[in-house]
Amino acid sequence: MLELKSNDSKKLRNQNKVLNYKDTYFSTINDGKNVGKFIEFHPSDICNFNCSFCSYKKSNSLSGNRVIYPFDQLDKLRMLDPKAITIVGGGEPTLYYDKENRKNFGDLVQYLSEHTNAKLGLITNGSTIIKKETLDKFEWLRISLDYTNPTSYLKSKGYTLKKVLEKINNQFLKSDVSKIGIGYLINNENLEEIYDLLKYFKQTRVNIQFRKTCPIESCDCPLLQVEDKEDEVNTNDLSKYFFETMKKLEEIICKEPDLEKFVKEQTNLGDYFKKTKQPKEITAKKCYTSLFRWIVRPEGSVFPCVMCATQNNKKIGSIFEDSLKVLQEESFKFYHYEKCTTNDCCKIGQGVQNDIFEQSLDSSEIKYESNDFFI
């Protein structure tokens, strides 16, 4: 059985990093301070891809919605004094260009680097040319890949895989960014491409984060939803295919020592080789992350999570129109589940983080020693 080494978990998707925001949480609760957050920043919804399972696909096109976060409003983010900012979005963030202020993505990164104390992260589709001086300002970045077969990639994203791989090798891996990751959303269309992905990157320094395609209602996911019921898997018709394919993959990997080493040390794939029991429900009594993790969209809307952002009907407020005091007051309505009347929508991601956070409040022994603030 392949298992992820604990000392390498910091490289991957580790929900325990939410504990690095306990000081922000207590400062908000006890002192009413509205700083020290994690900001997921969407500078625009413009995109040059057409991914079939994109959560924001109704708004992210080169010819459609061209909402741009005004460059001269970046001071609004600065006033939040965030610990970390991940630049991502409902589109491809590196395409950002504020025509009115004549500012591009490099200018945006330069401003955030010079005028905030935040660590900067980037999630990109890897298709654009980024100057090295801009790239090197990031501590962390992830390239969303999802396919290694050129035909599958073109069908899903409407773009050429070869061009992206060239950017990864000649641009990202030659940068000074300390943590470089590949994002791979597992679905029924790309399971059998995982082996080729591992072989391609096994001699590089990238870490590969595997996740099941997100079950958000607003997107058209080629989803493999796996639920565990006691010791048996109780899922849709794809579950048998999933586990049979993963079992074969594990057997192949175990016969190749160099590949096995890479999988153990630089991926979280081992998590998918075992039928682990997942929580049947989220038990957290409050939405803790709503107080210290905000999504800021191009038009200035502030959301507590991706579920609310993609539905676009439950927002904290507007960073352009509302004071920080008002935004904080509104975030407490999510914290107490007044706006989100149930945690049923939090089966993944922040729901898990809320459970971890709540458990840590009940035990002084639950700690997470790290300076990684990208949650």
Closest by alpha carbon to 87, among 98, 77, 75, 73?
A: 77
345, part of any domain: yes
Residue 299's pLDDT is 94
Contact 307, 345 (CB under 8 A): yes
368, part of any domain: no
- The domain containing residue 260 runs over which residues? 6-361
What integer is the mean pLDDT of 238-253? 87
279, part of any domain: yes
Give, for 311, the enclosing helix (H) or strand (E).
helix 306-311
**CA 139 centroid distance within chain:** 15
Residue 4's pLDDT is 44
Mind listing the pLDDT tens digit for each residue in 301-318?
999 988 888 776 689 999
- pTM attached to this predicted model: 0.86
Residue 16's pLDDT is 85
CATH classification at residue 272: 3.20.20.70
Residue 342's pLDDT is 57
What integer is the mean pLDDT of 218-242? 47
Residue 34 DSSP code: -
274, part of any domain: yes
Q: What percent of the chain has pLDDT over 90?
A: 53
The more confident residue out of 76 and 214 is: 76
Residue 255's pLDDT is 96
Burial of 5 (0-12, 13-18, 19+ CB in 10 A): exposed
What integer is the mean pLDDT of 344-354? 69
182, part of any domain: yes
What integer is the mean pLDDT of 111-127? 96
329, part of any domain: yes
pLDDT of 277 over the 80 cut: no
Residue 233's pLDDT is 34
Cite the beta strand spans of the chain per DSSP E. Answer: 38-41, 84-87, 97-98, 103-104, 119-124, 140-144, 179-186, 207-212, 228-229, 232-233, 293-296, 301-303, 317-318
pLDDT of 7 over the 50 cut: no
19, part of any domain: yes
pLDDT of 69 over the 90 cut: yes
1, part of any domain: no
Q: What percent of the chain has pLDDT over 70?
A: 79
Residue 51: pLDDT band with limits 50, 70, 90: confident
The more confident residue out of 247 and 371 is: 247
Contact 34, 80 (CB under 8 A): yes
Domain count, the chain: 1
